[in-house]
Amino acid sequence: MDRRLTTALGVALLILLAGCAGLTGTAAETGGAADDLDRSIEVSAEGEATAEPDRATVRVAVEATGDDPGAVRSELATADDELRTALYDWGLDEGDVRTERYDIRRTRESRETPDHEAYRGEHVYAVEIGDVDAVGDVIDVAVDAGADGVERIEFGLSEDRADELRDEALADAMGNAHDEADVLAENANLTVTGVYAVSTTNARTSPFTATALRTESGDAGGGASTGVETGDVDVTVTVSVVFDAEAA
């Protein structure tokens, strides 16, 4: 019995050692394959596109003062009716004129003099214009209707034009990314073989903001019109691209 048991244990031990040897061989083959790692080149590139604006936003303000906030509010309400009516009659839609800021507060001088109350109110409008050549006309209409000032004029893009310009900027960014990857590959003894992954990390639109107005001669009757200088709108995007590469 002892001899047979010893023989059986010996055979089992040989089988177990043979199995371990087989596993070690497989691991070595896997390790050898793992040494052949994929190569890649990762770059971040910027692209841009420029176009003339096809929309504008004019911010105009109406101001009012009074001895109590109710009087100021009433004056602003009257001015609101007059301004909106004039702009709608000119050709703008209700959705083109929106309130951007509305504020009524006690004046600084009044706060420093407790025995006298005075309030100042301001209603700021953002007026959207689909024809950039008509910006001056809209300003004239607003001022004639009671607007006390023009705070800012911003030239931008319609949604469709902005999408087109973004596509152009993306194409420019990808072209720059390919160029950069080729230069890096050449200096690293690699060859670019394709694109593994790509993503957009940043996109921004830089509208043109007018900082000055000028008065031009108007019709033969001696009237004056407002002229506004315009400028291009820039769209910039940044892409991150991972390129597949192999040894040159």
The residue to which tokens 């720059």 are assigned: 176
Q: What is the pLDDT of residue 31?
A: 38
Q: What is the pLDDT of residues 35-56, one digit of tens each?
A: 334 789 999 999 999 999 999 9
Digit-coded pLDDT (tens) for 134-177: 999 999 999 999 999 898 999 999 999 999 999 999 999 999 99
Q: Is 41 exposed, middle or buried (0-12, 13-18, 19+ CB in 10 A)?
A: buried
Q: Please state the domain extents for the chain.
A: 39-51+161-208+221-247, 55-156
224's CB contacts (< 8 A; 6+ apart) are 215, 216, 217, 218
Q: What is the model's pLDDT at position 210?
A: 80
Q: Is 67 helix (H, G, I), strand (E, B) or coil?
A: coil
pLDDT digits (tens, 9 = 90+) for 56-103: 999 999 999 999 999 999 999 999 999 999 999 999 999 999 999 999
CATH architecture of 39-51+161-208+221-247: 2-Layer Sandwich (3.30)
End-to-end Cα, the chain, rounded Å: 69
* CATH (one of 3.40.50.150, 3.30.465.10, 3.30.70.2970, 3.30.70.890) for 55-156: 3.30.70.2970
Cβ atoms 145, 86 nearer than 8 A: yes
pTM of structure: 0.70
CB contact at 8 A, 124 and 99: yes
| 74 strand-pairing partners | none
